[in-house]
Structure 1
Amino acid sequence: MAGKLNILFITADQWRGECLSALGHEMVKTPHLDALAADGVLFKRHYANAVPCGPSRASLHTGMYLQNHRSGTNGTPLDARHTNWAKEAAKLGYDPVLFGYTDTSQDPREEDPESPWLLTYEGPLPGIRPVAMMGTWPTPWTDWLKANGYEVPADIRYAYGERAPGPEYEDGAAVPRPLIYPKEADDTSFLTDRVIDYIAESDKPFIAHLSILRPHPPFVAAEPFNAMYDPEAVPGFKRKTTHDEEAAQHPWLEHQLGRKLFRAPAVEKKLRRMKAVYYGLMSEVDEALGKVFAFLKESGRWDDTLIVFTSDHGEQMGDHWLLGKCGYFDASYRIPLIVRDPRKEADTARGTEIDLFTENVDIMPTMLDLIGAEIPVQCDGASLRPFLEGRAPATWRREAHWEYDFRDPADDSAEKRLNLTLHQCTMNIIRDEKFKYVHFTKLPPLLFDLEKDPDEFTNVANDPAYLPVVLDYAQRLLSWRMNHDEQTLTHISLTEDGPVTRRAARY
């Protein structure tokens, strides 16, 4: 087998980027991830390239921006012609395995018309072998619960949020209601234990993708994590006084705040309970990962295993009166990234923190680079290897970019409310240290002066003093899109001497 490096690729769903105690968060405690960062590299300005889960993970697993992979919503098929890190690693003899989910909507042209994968957006990434596949239907976990004497709801989809009896916090309870299952038996522990079992039985180099649901909703944590953080003490919410004041920022935001799914509850006590449990779920994931890290050390795998920890996107958690992930706000896109490279070449970089902008499209190139695989031309990102080895890249991006596709083939409410066509329900974002520019296909743009307005409350796109800035960032965004147009065959020319190939860097 060509490669000798193991890879443990971890995603924790919906994890806001600032929520690590290593970054000085005022409340969240993540000691095991902090220790991982101290032995690796912490990327402080890391961003997802799309939301929600399906589009974001399509970028994460293919190294491509949404404008190129075009899997824009949960359920939009990912074109089968695109490769991914699992397929490329398999070419070197690896057997990429999955614990959790990848939310990959299968290409219907490649499936039998009766395929069950055409009935869900939660298919597996092509090229990966599911060992314990869990998503909306957590069958491996609920089967295990039943086998171990636990009761499971008739509809197993609700097992993730099955609460213990009693009132909820906002109804008078002293602490948020816990999950009915103990922490040793919840979905996070189940998956991490299965990963440990797999690695223990593996006698060759492995690549395992551990895709953990938490801290994604439902916001219900097992004891003691349900009560780990006091709802009355959680940091406040970055928002205007009322929904209407917030909605005045932009027509899209007004529309979004009118959707029940994304609108934060008006009951302050309920929202604080949700935030406290959100933090508790993070600490629960941290503790479970600590067990995995300890096992790698005890089993002698620590010094030959690359560990990547990140997320698919963030969570609004009441900021701007929103819940979930959507739009253009940093809370939905800034996510954690820690990479622990076991190689000797990485020793000089251990414990460093990177302030430059990195993106999820960089993950696939990094993993392939470190196992000696060729990085496909389709990748819009770049390998983080120089940072891991304590070297400054010759060139690197100066800003972060992401896209949000809010079309919905099954619901035309946005089109009617905003006078758009289905294909006009899109926005593109560029942000650096000073400004954030948001461009819509057929709606007014937004510009935020992040030095004066870090919480993104004031749109200055129409302020005459900022018009040169709007022009500058609109041009930067256009240049970025032009530079990252799909380029699979553009580096090849057919000549009298046959095909001539010349690859070039994106930056």
Structure 2
Amino acid sequence: MPSAIRNILFIMFDQLRWDYLGCAGHPYLKTPNLDKLASKGLRFTNAYVQSPICGSSRMSFYTGRYVHSHGAQRNNFPLKVGELTLGDHLRDAGMDAFLIGKTHMEADAQGLARLGIAPDSVIGARVAECGFDVVVRDDGLWTEGPDGAYDTRTSPYNEYLAAKGYGGANGWSDHANAVELEDGEVTSGWFMKYIDRPANVAEEDSETPWLTSRAIDFLSEAGREDRPWLCHLSYIKPHWPYVVPAPYNSMFGPEHVVPAVRAEAEKQDPHPVYQAYMQTLVARSFSRQEVREKAIPSYMALIKQADDQMGRLFEYLEQAGRMDDTMIVVTSDHGDYLGDHWLGEKNFFHDCSVKVPLIIYDPRPEADATRGQTCDKLVEAIDLTATFIEAAGRKVPDHIVEGRSLCDLLHGQQPEAWREAVISEMDYSTTPMAESLGMAHRDARLFMVFDGRWKLVHAEGGLPPLLFDLQSDPQELDDLGRDTAFAVERERMYGHLHAWTRRLSQRIAISDDELDAMKGKYARRGILLGLYDGSEVPPENLSAVPLRPKEELGVS
């Protein structure tokens, strides 16, 4: 068995599409630092998240369990007390787990109170923060509206900007995500009409460099070598608002915007849920070419800035000697439609939304066999928890963690019976789309199953499915979900989904090894049900009930 990894740097970007990297073939966007990491590691080309929504996707990353199992199905849905997280598993392996950046975690306050766990205790804080010890948590949306603030916690980023001398009560809104107009007025970066202008903040003080600096500070702290660590460096960008500081704002223009992947036929008799999402404000906005020509260059610029910060971070790791003992993982919590399929945001199941970049650099010599290669196996976000546990030297508790370790793939070995399909889920119960469709909360759910060719989306509430054949239709433009000619394929894909629903997902308090140890123990502890004369069992099982004279039992 390979030696254990000393440290793990788990980098996640927010809303980074799989195909917006140089190494993934983007025609204009160059990402040399991430490409260099891919040349030293293994890039997975079929990695899928368990939900196209920030919070639910991340809870699967952090627990190694499907959304259907952990239950945090949308943003602001609490992760219930009792769900074991990546930090819990790694601490059992002697490795600490730290957070720098975003989790979108919503704590189960009622569960903590019911169990008498103080939120400010060590255990309470870890339960409330997805199992991480927090260096700095910043979920990146410090907005305010008529009903108050979106995030009611104190913003560490706003505190940083204030300390740097930026004025105003909300530096995130007034500077980092605002732009200056010709007349000197400052307006919101939410208005995509203006986001080709530079953000009203110095580049080195914008969100991505700020988090990189916090990570370098953390990694350089005295005493960091005392104990192995996982550091989850979780960036806020390139998530909207799509606004970026100079000089990045002028690096890309309309000539760098790739054509939208969409067809007029998609609007003809679309699936009801898909149609409802096409009617949203963000979808209608991104359906306009002038919006794409503003937003996409800014999105690309945010990625370029992120790649430059990766260069800064990787250079520090090289100089500190950490590249020799640190596994580095780069991924995203979901993608971004950017106008493809007449949609904006994420919240549906085309590849631009649920397929994500995944690069893993494993410093161990066993990984030399795959350096610079790609792997097209079907991979799920939940596999990272299993990978980290195994890399830390522990057996994956597969009665809890539903993902599969990628270590064998990293080391050029072929695991037995790899998965045949990946699963992703979405709950849209709190959205206007559910209301417009008249969906009860319990029915406003979608399930995707993809086998590498066929992609089925099942909709609860009596709605028909969607079906795409990515072999003949790689851009997912032709929905075959109601075409009678493809009934056999729909039935086969439903077979994958039904098998998944029958998985053992809630027996998490006892492992298979413990079950094996229980076999036969009752008969050896005096439970002798069904015996006729005792000849049916080994004699030693009868030692607790020997035949004795009745006088010895106090019977006259």
Aligned match of 2:99: 98
Q: Distance in 2 between matches of 1:116 and 1:247?
A: 52
Contact 2:192–2:295 (Cα < 8 Å) also in 1: no
Aligned match of 2:460: 441
Q: Does 1:233 align with 2:256?
A: yes
Give deviations 1:343-387, integer Å, cap 9, x for gaps: 121122211100111110100000111011332321111000011
AA aligned to 2:135 is: V
Aligned match of 2:428: 406
Q: Which moved more, 1:487-496 or 1:94-103?
A: 487-496
Correspondence list, 1:57-456, <5 A: 57-112=58-113, 125-135=129-139, 136-137=141-142, 139-154=155-170, 156-157=172-173, 159-166=175-182, 176-201=196-221, 202-204=224-226, 205-241=228-264, 246=267, 248-376=269-397, 377-408=399-430, 413-442=432-461, 443-456=463-476
Shift of 1:299: 0.9
Q: Distance in 2 between matches of 1:87 and 1:312?
A: 21
SS in 2 for 1:296: helix
AA aligned to 2:356 is: I
Shift of 1:457: 1.9
AA aligned to 2:32 is: P
Aligned match of 2:44: 43
Shift of 1:162: 2.0
AA aligned to 2:420 is: R
Q: Distance in 2 between matches of 1:452 and 1:307?
A: 36
Q: Distance in 2 between matches of 1:416 and 1:172?
A: 30
Contact 1:403–1:428 (Cα < 8 Å) also in 2: yes
Q: Distance in 2 between matches of 1:292 and 1:59?
A: 26
Q: What are structure 1's unaligned runs of at least 5 residues?
A: 118-122, 501-507
Task: Figure out how many residues of one structure are paired with residues of the other and give that number.
Answer: 489
Shift of 1:257: 2.0
Q: Distance in 1 between matches of 2:192 and 2:136?
A: 37
Q: Distance in 1 between matches of 2:435 and 2:55?
A: 25
AA aligned to 2:136 is: A
Contact 1:124–1:130 (Cα < 8 Å) also in 2: no
Return closer, same or farther for 1:256/1:194 CA change in 2, 3 Å cut-off: same
Contact 1:87–1:126 (Cα < 8 Å) also in 2: no
Q: Which moved more, 1:14-23 or 1:430-439?
A: 430-439
Q: Distance in 1 between matches of 2:215 and 2:523?
A: 45
Give deviations 1:114-146, integer Å, cap 9, x for gaps: 9999xxxxx953321111211224722222222
Q: Distance in 1 between matches of 2:174 and 2:128?
A: 21
Q: Distance in 1 between matches of 2:118 and 2:175?
A: 26
Q: Which moved more, 1:158-167 or 1:468-477?
A: 158-167
Contact 1:102–1:124 (Cα < 8 Å) also in 2: no
Q: Distance in 2 between matches of 1:32 and 1:401?
A: 31
Q: Distance in 1 between matches of 2:288 and 2:433?
A: 26
Q: What are structure 2's unaligned runs of at least 5 residues?
A: 121-126, 143-153, 525-556
Q: Distance in 2 between matches of 1:82 and 1:459?
A: 37
Q: Distance in 2 between matches of 1:172 and 1:383?
A: 45
SS in 2 for 1:335: strand
Shift of 1:38: 0.3
Shift of 1:398: 2.6
SS in 2 for 1:382: coil
Q: Distance in 2 between matches of 1:199 and 1:328?
A: 37
Q: Distance in 1 between matches of 2:395 and 2:500?
A: 24
Shift of 1:315: 0.6
AA aligned to 1:106 is: A
TM-score (norm 2): 0.82
Shift of 1:149: 2.4
Identity percentage of aligned residues: 31
Contact 2:337–2:352 (Cα < 8 Å) also in 1: yes
Contact 1:234–1:276 (Cα < 8 Å) also in 2: yes
SS in 2 for 1:363: helix
AA aligned to 1:392 is: Q
AA aligned to 2:439 is: L
Correspondence list, 1:474-493, <5 A: 474-483=494-503, 485-488=505-508, 489=510, 491=512, 493=515
SS in 2 for 1:177: coil
Q: Distance in 1 between matches of 2:137 and 2:438?
A: 40
Q: Distance in 2 between matches of 1:206 and 1:125?
A: 17
Shift of 1:276: 1.0
Shift of 1:395: 2.1
Q: Distance in 2 between matches of 1:176 and 1:116?
A: 43
Give deviations 1:291-315, integer Å, cap 9, x for gaps: 1100000011110111011010011
Shift of 1:150: 2.7
AA aligned to 1:303 is: D
Contact 1:49–1:56 (Cα < 8 Å) also in 2: yes
SS in 2 for 1:278: helix
Give deviations 1:151-197, integer Å, cap 9, x for gaps: 35537455541223339999998x81111112211111011011111
Contact 1:228–1:280 (Cα < 8 Å) also in 2: yes
Contact 2:158–2:171 (Cα < 8 Å) also in 1: no
Q: Distance in 1 between matches of 2:287 and 2:419?
A: 40
Q: Distance in 1 between matches of 2:336 and 2:216?
A: 29
SS in 2 for 1:403: strand
Return closer, same or farther for 1:210/1:166 CA change in 2, 3 Å cut-off: farther
Aligned match of 1:503: none
SS in 1 for 2:285: coil
Return closer, same or farther for 1:342/1:70 CA change in 2, 3 Å cut-off: same
SS in 1 for 2:180: coil
Contact 1:48–1:313 (Cα < 8 Å) also in 2: yes
TM-score (norm 1): 0.89
Q: Distance in 1 between matches of 2:261 and 2:482?
A: 23
Give deviations 1:243-270, integer Å, cap 9, x for gaps: xx52731100121122224443454222
Contact 1:247–1:254 (Cα < 8 Å) also in 2: no
Aligned match of 2:550: none
